[in-house]
């Protein structure tokens, strides 16, 4: 059975005050309790690269939600595997660096799906 879902994409100015807008934007679309915090850490990690814009993408399918933050500058090891990434990986089911090295992603699942696996 195919899973249906939604995808949202929005660009945010790469400025620290935008982090609040990112958290609110995600909270309005995803019901997962950790989604705003994970989105914040994704945004801040890409923000620290110096990219002028951070593109946030949210996608849902069934009980899964995937968030991606991407910029235009390749991330350093500290930005992609530092303290923010530890928070992201601790709160998400899966996470990693985008294939082009210019962002991070995280996948969240509902609590019931995580216990079934």
Q: How many percent of the chain have pLDDT more than 90?
A: 79
DSSP type of residue 105 = E
pLDDT in tens, 1-40: 457 899 999 999 999 999 999 999 999 999 999 999 999 9
Report how far residue 50's alpha carbon sits from residue 61's, in angstroms, rounded to the nearest whole number. 32
The answer to whether residue 2 sits within a structural domain is no
> For residue 23, what is the domain's CATH number?
3.30.565.10
Token pair 């595997």 is found at 81
Q: What is the pTM of this model?
A: 0.89
The answer to whether residue 93 sits within a structural domain is yes
Report how far residue 96's alpha carbon sits from residue 100's, in angstroms, rounded to the nearest whole number. 11
Predicted confidence (pLDDT) at residue 105 exceeds the cutoff of 50: yes
Q: Which of 61, 64, 67, 29 is nearest to 46 (CA)?
A: 67
Full residue range of the structural domain in which residue 82 is found: 7-116
The total of structural domains in the chain comes to 1
């Amino acid at each position: 059975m195919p899973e249906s879902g939604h995808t949202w994409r929005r660009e945010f100015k790469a400025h620290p005050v935008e982090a609040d807008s990112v958290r609110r934007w995600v909270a309005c679309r995803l019901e997962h309790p950790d989604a705003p915090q994970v989105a914040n850490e994704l945004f801040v990690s890409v923000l620290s690269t110096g990219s002028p814009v951070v593109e946030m993408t949210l996608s849902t399918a069934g009980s899964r939600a995937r968030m991606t933050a991407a910029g235009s500058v390749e991330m350093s090891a500290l930005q992609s595997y530092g303290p923010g990434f530890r928070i992201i990986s601790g709160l998400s089911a899966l996470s990693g660096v985008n294939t082009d090295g210019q962002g991070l992603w995280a996948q969240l699942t509902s609590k019931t799906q995580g216990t079934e696996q």
